[in-house]
Amino acid sequence: MVSWEEVVRGWRAKSEVAMGLRACITTAGCLLALVAAQTVYAQDGPATASGNQKSITSTPQRDDAESEPASDPQLVQLPLKQSRWFTRVGFMVAPYHSSATIATNGQPLSGSTAEASNNMSVTFDLGYEITKNISITMTSGIPVKPHVTGEGTAAALEILGKVRYGPAIFAGQYQFPKIGRFRPYVGGGAAYAIIFKNFDGSVKDLKVNNNWGSVVQGGAEYEVNSKYTVFVDFKEVWLAVNAHGVLSDGTNVKARVKLNPSLLSVGIKFHFPFGRGH
């Protein structure tokens, strides 16, 4: 008959075997989990890295695409704005419609008059176009030197004297709409005679004074191209000057000489490359 102690030892042996099996099973499970984790890392890790590398590689392409400028649209060259400032240079002829009233020792010399000689010169205009139809100009030129000759009862005095003067004309113009390349205009304003030097003739110590006058004008321009325009201009000027001096016998003489020139000029006009444009 088996003793109780042998039974207990048998159960202990079985229990130890069971615990050993449990420990082996647990260790095997841990090993299987570790192997499985290594397998997943080996499969997914490189793929993720490859995916990241692809993402990194594709990013510069997007950046290049974003940074690359879009194809330039077709450039359309707009016409330049034409400056409102312009100048005109021309050749001028100036016939005078002159007359004079002459007095000696304060008494009018009956039947006396005077005549001024015609001149030619070069003129310069500086202008500004206020609108497309309205402009203002200041006209001057190389000073002329007409001589004044006595006529009528003063004919014996011959050349009374000479004077070098420069006209300054301030005027406004209205420009009509273009007719093809032609554009007519009209205008008017004031003229100022600036006396630079007097030259004695039969009248000594000649002194001629500056004076104001009035002017009307008309003309036409022909547009050669966008830069240059040729013009023909006519001005009628009403201008008189006062003069005084002494004759050779000591007689005081005074005169009011009406010059009244007609100014006909032809030339070229161009706009400056600065300033506000139309």
As a whole number of angstroms, the distance between CA 170 and CA 192 comes to 8
Domain contains 77: no
Residues 14 and 138 in one domain: no
Residues 23 and 126 in one domain: no
Residues 36 and 148 in one domain: no
Residues 162 and 104 in one domain: yes
**What is the pLDDT, as a whole number, of residue 6?**
54
Domain contains 72: no
DSSP 63: H
Domain contains 258: yes
* Tens of pLDDT, residues 201-218: 999 999 999 999 999 999
- Name which residue leads in pLDDT, 178 or 42: 178
Q: How many domains does the chain have?
A: 2
Domain contains 80: no
The secondary structure element, H or E, covering residue 268 is strand 262-271
What is the domain extent for residue 51?
Answer: 1-65
* Tens of pLDDT, residues 227-266: 889 999 999 999 999 999 999 899 999 999 999 999 999 9
**What is the pLDDT, as a whole number, of residue 81?**
66
* Tens of pLDDT, residues 16-70: 544 554 554 554 454 445 444 444 444 554 444 444 444 444 444 444 444 454 4
As a whole number of angstroms, the distance between CA 237 and CA 258 comes to 10
Residues 60 and 102 in one domain: no
Domain contains 278: no
Confidence of residue 271 (pLDDT cuts 50, 70, 90): confident
Q: Partners of 193 in the beta sheet?
A: 167, 211
Residues 148 and 226 in one domain: yes
* Tens of pLDDT, residues 76-128: 555 556 788 999 999 999 999 999 999 999 999 999 999 999 999 999 999 99
From the number of C-beta atoms within 10 Å of its C-beta (0-12, 13-18, 19+), residue 113 rates as buried
Is pTM, for the whole model, over 0.85? Answer: no
- Beta-strand (E) ranges in 130-247? 134-141, 147-152, 159-175, 182-200, 204-208, 211-223, 228-238, 240-246
Domain contains 1: yes
Residues 112 and 243 in one domain: yes
CATH number at residue 247: 2.40.160.20
Residues 144 and 41 in one domain: no
Residues 247 and 177 in one domain: yes
Domain contains 130: yes
187: nearest Cα among 244, 127, 274, 102: 127
Residues 107 and 26 in one domain: no
Q: Where are the alpha helices (DSSP H) in the chain?
A: 4-67
Residues 135 and 263 in one domain: yes
Residues 35 and 122 in one domain: no
115: nearest Cα among 146, 153, 149: 149
